[in-house]
Amino acid sequence: MGNNLDALTTVFTEFYYWVTVVFMFLIHVGFCMYEVGASRRRNHLHTLMKNTMLIPLVTITFFYFGWWIYFAFPAWPMSINWEAAAPYAPWSENMGTHLGDRLTGVFWAAFLLFSWTAASIVSGSVIERIRSGAFWILAVLIGSFTWIIDAAWGWHWDGWMVHILGYHDAYASGVIHAIAGGFALGVLVVLGPRIGKFADDGTPRDIPPHNTWLVTIGLFLIYTGFWGFYAACNVPIISPSGIDGLITGETWTATNIYLGPTTLSAITFNFLMSLSGGLMMGYMVSKGDAFWTYSGGLAGIITASAGNDLYHPIQAMIIAGIGTWCAYKLHFWVERKFKIDDAVGAVAVHGYAGFIGLVICGFVLWGAPSSPYDGYATVNPLGQFAGAIIMFVVLGFIPAWICSKILNAMGLLRVPKEVELLGLDFSTDEAYEAAVAEVQSAEKAGL
């Protein structure tokens, strides 16, 4: 820190990311409430612990190799940038208590919370029949490996997708949501539906959440955490000389992850307007169903997120509505057509909405600069469509499908049929009831 302005900027940036991390923790609280509410009573604790334990597993593996990948792989597989990634290897001094580096820890944590989110999106789809051990392997695969590859490629100022495709995804329609939706679909294809989900003639049955209230409050908390997520996607303050690109003058600004200028005010407008567009469409298309209205709000934000650094708020609202309508319709069409049992609609809300959001962004922001640096392709529909395929299919669906096939072949993916019917909390519930009976009889003996 050379002078007082540098010091203030550094400490402000450090505090800014720290606050976003705390806010983003609410995403995970929301996902846990949402999943537990959606599961049946006999699967509560299994559902909760499956999701909770992805936190430490993704955290430690993101420390071991995920963070390094982000800096090493912007041009991979063509090349690996060993030099740029060296400070972020787990044995680097920067990855610890270091008085000369006040930003690596909070920046790492902001990305880590995205990693949890990616894995947690998948978690809801597969409840009530996946083995926890299998899910945790899959969680590490997406949380510390495939999503951070997509971030290096398409969510890094120097990523090859930004250079060549003009890929633009400011608030992660693709790099978090499309990949997680595609990943969930890859697992679901191998995992299969819950017992009773489909009638003999293939007609899908509704498996109602045991607690709709908990589900909707969980989604409210996810919205809240999403505010932090949006802020965390920005660089809060930087000078034109700090960017070292084509921007002229002396005006300091906030930027998106590509170092292109935006403002917190802009994304606040667009977050709220896209939330509103999604909620209104969700309510309309589902005819007032609480679950799909709340999910519609989320799908709306996700659809508009790719371009929410630059959209007009009314554009954000309309785009959100379109994405929500498509996600809702596609969810039920895929369910009927391919017998996919996505317990919480995550493939639709995150995957289809994210995919559609990327494509729409290519048209609406056509010709806008993807970077403040020279020599980058501008935003365009073809580049965005290719990006959506890379996110949903190449880094989402395919790795999940392959890993699930391997786990399934080893007998590790799904619980046995009788245990699924018995409920995944059977032994925990038995122990609980035995303890209650013992205490009650001891208390009564003292009367």
Say whether residue 57 binds another protein (CB under 8 A).
Answer: yes
Q: Which is nearer to another protein, 169 or 341 (CB)?
A: 341
Say whether residue 434 binds another protein (CB under 8 A).
Answer: no
228-to-20, 25, 115 alpha-carbon distances in Å: 4, 9, 14
- Give the per-residue contact string, 364-403, with another protein (x = CB under 8 A; - = no): ----------------------------------------
Say whether residue 100 binds another protein (CB under 8 A).
Answer: yes
Say whether residue 412 binds another protein (CB under 8 A).
Answer: yes
Quote the CA–CA distance of 247 and 254 in Å, as a whole number.
13
Sheet holding 253-255, edge to edge: 235-238, 253-255, 261-262
What's the per-residue H, E or C state across 9-49?
A: HHHHHHHHHHHHHHHHHHHHHHHHHHHHHHCCHHHHHHHHH
| Among 26-34, 60-68, 117-125, 146-154, the segment contacting another protein (CB under 8 A) | 60-68
The single residue among 314, 336, 409, 416 that binds another protein, judged by CB under 8 A, is 416
Residues sharing a CB contact under 8 Å with residue 77, sequence separation 6 or more, in sequence order: none
Say whether residue 164 binds another protein (CB under 8 A).
Answer: no
Q: Cβ(278)–Cβ(321) under 8 Å?
A: yes
- Per CB under 8 A, contacts with another protein among 199-228 are 210
- What are phi and psi for residue 170, nearest 5 degrees? -55, -45
Which of 381, 390, 394, 400 lies closest to 154, judged by CA?
Answer: 390
- Give the per-residue contact string, 107-146, with another protein (x = CB under 8 A; - = no): ------------------------xxx--xx---------
Quote the CA–CA distance of 261 and 237 in Å, as a whole number.
10
Q: Which is nearer to another protein, 28 or 46 (CB)?
A: 46
Say whether residue 61 binds another protein (CB under 8 A).
Answer: yes
Say whether residue 339 binds another protein (CB under 8 A).
Answer: no
Q: Which two three-digit tokens encode residue 140?
A: 């590490």
Which residues contact another protein (rule: CB under 8 A)?
Answer: 1, 40-42, 53, 57, 60-61, 64, 90-93, 96-101, 131-133, 136-137, 210, 412, 415-416, 418-419, 421-423, 426-427, 430
